Amino acid sequence: MDAFYASVEQRDAPELRGKPVIVAGSEQGRGVVAAASYEARRFGVRSAMPTRTALRLCPEVIRIRPRHEHYAQVSQKIRSIFLSYTPLVEPLALDECYLDLTEYCQRKGERLAVVARAIKAELARAVSLSSSAGGAPCKFVAKVASDLRKPNGLVIVPPEQVEDFLEPLPVERLWGVGPVTAARFHQLGLTCIGQVAACQPEWLRARFGRAGYEFWMLAHGRDERPVEPDRDARSISAERTFALDQNAPEPVLQELAAQSAEVAERLARLGAQARTVVLKLRYDDFATVTRSHTPGRPVREAEEIFSLASRLLESRTEFPDRAVRLVGVGVSGLTDPNAPVQLELFSRED
């Protein structure tokens, strides 16, 4: 969805339409911009930016405090539309999903572009919001395509055009290429994806380690991960790979807040609560760590999940001394909220 939180606020309050709007916490402390309307973006305001910076760039910007529960309700309506087309829906966040429409297109005899336009039109009618979509044979290329023509964009990349599509794009579009890695690519004379694709994978591996082979695969549009539908299970999680490696607290905390809201919304749909909160980080060298905490009583609210996850981030990881490329929040030990709870004298961390 395009500028999801800000667009919901403009939809609900017509007087905000056409004006620069941010959904953000306080300008004091660690307040960050969760979403910025396209009117605000003209002033250089972006999501994950400190609120105080956004107010400095655009003094007339209108700041709205986040309404995560409301956004989760809108997201549920959007998700139900996706599920009417295919059960293969993999949520990445409240406003973003992967869909596998292969079977639907084959059964209906429709081209992907036609189906994608129909879904976009149905979203506009049902929730009065614009969306951008990308269609491709794999997740990576679809994600890149969906980002190219925002807002209200649609980019379809047929299988035979994948490498031509990727070739002129900057290396920064490759997953896992942050500022440091991009600088290394540039020093090697590699500035676009096509140049990376033309390298020998062994040459890239020698310079970037295991990530070098992954860069080579992505540069050729090879991403074999299937769309994994959102299944009810013993645990719930949300995670995101950043387009650029992050070592500043604000964007990572903002993403943790959004993921906590996503996890809480899914807990609410299940009518469940969770005993343990789990934080997942993948550093810029692809090393992955998980940290968990089991408080004295189960959690179910976004604020509780975010509080515990952010404490784990600050006290039990090497961030921000090491940049991260992926962050995720999860909960486990799902229980019925009406079940009796044995209170613990001490909380534990594992």
SS3 sequence, 206-266?
HHHCHHHHHHHHHHCCCCCCCCCCCCCCCEEEEEEEEEEEECCHHHHHHHHHHHHHHHHHH
CATH fold label, 69-160 = Alpha-Beta Plaits (3.30.70)
Mean pLDDT check: name the lowest of 61-75, 81-95, 328-342: 328-342
pTM of the model: 0.70
Model confidence at 15: pLDDT above 80: yes
- What is the pLDDT at residue 134? 97
| C-beta separation of 264 from 256 below 8 A | no
Residue 96 is among the residues annotated as catalytic for this protein: yes
Three-state DSSP class for residue 345? coil
Query: Which residue out of 15, 60, 69, 96 is catalytically annotated?
Result: 96
**Residue-range domain boundaries for the chain:** 4-66, 69-160, 162-219, 235-349
Mean pLDDT check: name the lowest of 12-16, 38-42, 209-213: 209-213
Name the CATH superfamily housing domain 235-349.
Answer: DNA polymerase, Y-family, little finger domain (3.30.1490.100)
Q: Establish how many alpha carbons lie within 13 A of residue 296's alpha carbon, considering only the half-sphere containing its beta carbon.
A: 4
Q: Containing H/E element for 41?
A: helix 38-41
Extract the tokens encoding 164.
């031509």
Mean pLDDT check: name the lowest of 134-138, 165-169, 208-212: 208-212
| CATH of span 4-66 | 3.40.1170.60
pLDDT-derived band at 54, boundaries 50, 70, 90? very high
- What is the pLDDT at residue 26? 65
Model confidence at 231: pLDDT above 90: no
pLDDT digits (tens, 9 = 90+) for 259-307: 998 888 888 877 789 999 999 999 988 888 999 999 989 998 888 999 9
User: Which CATH number is correct for 162-219, 3.40.50.720, 1.10.3430.10, 1.10.150.20, 3.10.450.50?
Assistant: 1.10.150.20
Most confident of 5-14, 267-276, 330-339: 5-14
